[in-house]
Amino acid sequence: MTVSDVVRMALGKANKSKSDLVGVLGVSSPAAVYNKMSKESWSAMDLVKVANFTGGKLMIVYPDGQQLLIQPEIVMTDKDAKTLIQAHEEAKTE
């Protein structure tokens, strides 16, 4: 199952269509949504928006049952993530 399959399932569950995602994702046309679907080019922020739009939540669930909710305000850019990872690696070596 691909990420796009999960997005399709979420849309179906919420009785929404792919073209409804144009405004949600801030893209210019339905073709841009179809592009994301065919190329599997989803960002974390896209998935958070899809989850919120369809009445769901995006989470990381660990084997011990702990759950981390991913919300729009905590999704980082790649640069922010690299900086955080670098700081973590440096702290481990100290």
CATH of the domain at 76: 1.10.260
Domain that holds residue 10: 3-93
CA separation for the pair 88, 16 (Å, rounded): 41
| pLDDT > 90? residue 89 | no
CA separation for the pair 9, 53 (Å, rounded): 13
| pLDDT > 70? residue 78 | no
Claim: this prediction has a pTM higher than 0.85: no
Domain count, the chain: 1
**Backbone Cα Rg of the chain:** 16
Q: What is the pLDDT of residue 91?
A: 74
Neighbours of 54 (CB within 10 A): 20
| pLDDT > 60? residue 26 | yes
Amino acid at 72: P
| pLDDT > 90? residue 42 | yes
